[in-house]
Structure 1
């Protein structure tokens, strides 16, 4: 028997918002130098501060670049080039990101694959040039490193983060050895497909299955798949979600709201 826990990474184990926001700003300067060259430090600080507020909308890391530019145009009307910006505020981003994203990507001629590659390259360069500061821009939530280190359950990480970055942080920041075949990162398929793969493994057939996420939309996708009815679903209340999303989650009988201390206790 025993338990298997599939864990999201950003927003469940690791608070990476500081690093991802700085990396996105660096990448945006490469992608759109005509807009970002010469930006005042005060404007950069305002953008990075507001990135934490809008972070709940991010599903995959490259979206951080889009948010950085959108915030810049909101802050500096003189450079506005996007039809969605007039009248937009951070609350509007939180409420309408799924509609805003395709509009601005088309207007900016931004391709997902290009942004993913650029975001990864900027992170790789930062790690190569100053690994300690890259690691230091991340933090594991209190208790989570010990929880996975001493877990009595079988642990998998299921994330949209590029695998090499999750592996580096687990190893070098948390000091935990998780076998590479237990980390499913960007490119391994949608999370619902990863969960299907995990439950199909013969060695997991008698285990209780648990999936911990901080994105309500991801959990809703799991609920839509009858094949995944065996999974116990949890929304981490400490992660990148909003009070409105936590309230909505409470309306789903399949989803349990989970506090950080309870999460750490469950793994141990």
Structure 2
């Protein structure tokens, strides 16, 4: 097969700023999961929680983690509901720097399991989507120019995301006006991104194409770099997604990773 380009594209933080929706959904789901934790949470504290969730968004890899963050923020503010050993004196900066260590501790101390949290988060979103589609859609936004870049591209495109595929498809259709083929969306449950990239590069129809992977999480790109089998992928970190200035500076020192801004993204997908 001749030349051409294949793009594997993350969704949240590359195309869609879903932080408003995911934070509000997480608060709804956390209230269902731990009603006693929220008995003293008033509207002002809820608003503060949602504000902090925007700051903390870079640490989230998979949606269910939002629920844990919401509960942790409540425990930081209301000592009487504390069941974790880490909440006392914990700052927002501490969470940003140590989330990968805090996450397993919280899961253990709160006796939670990943699957039931994933399921609950999905059900709460489904319920909101079904009963208030315009409200659910309106809590998300596409980054300027990204929907057009998707529509106008002549390259082979795949969405590779930790979001559940049905929500990704709904947002592409309702918010971006793009009927993106569902078989080209690799969402939560399709395996780690490194495995998906390997599958894509091995497909017969993709032989001879130049491979590009565009992400907003530096940690994900580092995981790809650890896999020698994925050496053919060109790696990009977007400057507008859920990453920090510190991560962008670190990426700038890694020769294999290219930093990309919004105007260049639209040109890149061509």
TM-score (norm 2): 0.98
Alignment match, 1:259: 261
3-state SS in 1 of match to 2:258: strand
Aligned-partner Cα distance in 1 for 2:193–2:173: 23
Shift of 1:38: 4.8
- For structure 2, list consecutive stretches of 5 or more residues without a partner in the other structure: none
1:1-268 aligned within 5 A: 1-268=3-270
Runs of 4+ in 1 over 6 A off after TM superposition: none
Equivalent residues of 1:29, 1:37 under 8 A apart: no
Q: What is the aligned-residue RMSD (CA, Å)? A: 0.9
Shift of 1:64: 0.3
Shift of 1:261: 1.4
For residues 72-130 of structure 1, give each alpha carbon's deviation from its aligned partner in whole angstroms, at most 9, with x where no partner exists: 11122332221101121110001000100011111111110000000000000001111
- For structure 1, list consecutive stretches of 5 or more residues without a partner in the other structure: none
For residues 182-202 of structure 1, give each alpha carbon's deviation from its aligned partner in whole angstroms, at most 9, with x where no partner exists: 100000000000000101111
For residues 32-86 of structure 1, give each alpha carbon's deviation from its aligned partner in whole angstroms, at most 9, with x where no partner exists: 0001135210000000000000010000000000000111111223322211011
* Alignment: residue pair count: 268
3-state SS in 2 of match to 1:252: coil
TM-score (norm 1): 0.98
